[in-house]
Amino acid sequence: MNIALIAHDSKKELLTQFCIAYCGILSHHNICATGTTGRLVEDATGLKISRFLSGSQGGDQQIASLIQCNEIDLLLFFRDPLNPKPHEPNDYDILRLCDVHSIPVATNIATAESLIMGLERGDLDWRNIVNPKSGNKQ
């Protein structure tokens, strides 16, 4: 599966800790992320992560384009709902695209844990039919 990671500044540490905890599951999948988030997670976990620009420089739009082409199977987007960002309209665009393409998305750690456990159980294998190119790393 192709998994994308995005985190607002105040949630980067939480997403990094999440990825450390679930590194064993994530290591079986292709992961991409916005620049800073990807670097932090890669440094902490040793996972191979395809990194885009930082979110404020367009990395979130790069991931949105993959979502729009239905090339992302799962999005972990740890958002800070209490501190709006100037580029927040992009956040809503990404979430809308996930809805359009039926891409599972988690915006907080509770939902992310549910999705990652479902991923491990095979509950998201239907995405391989929708996106046959995604596959799993072997």
Summarize pLDDT for 29-45 with one digit per residue, the tens.
999 999 999 999 999 99
Residue 19's domain comprises: 2-130
Q: Is 60 a catalytic residue?
A: yes
Q: Is the pTM of this model over 0.85?
A: yes
Residue 136 forms part of a structural domain: no
> 132 or 61: whose pLDDT is higher?
61
Residue 138 forms part of a structural domain: no
How many CB atoms within 10 Å of residue 24?
Answer: 8
Residue 115 forms part of a structural domain: yes
> Residue 42 is part of a domain; what is its CATH number?
3.40.50.1380
Residue 135 forms part of a structural domain: no
Residue 55 forms part of a structural domain: yes
Work out how many domains the chain is built from and give that number: 1
Summarize pLDDT for 96-117 with one digit per residue, the tens.
999 999 999 999 999 999 999 9
Residue 39 forms part of a structural domain: yes
**Active-site entry in 9, 60, 91, 99:** 60
Residue 96 forms part of a structural domain: yes
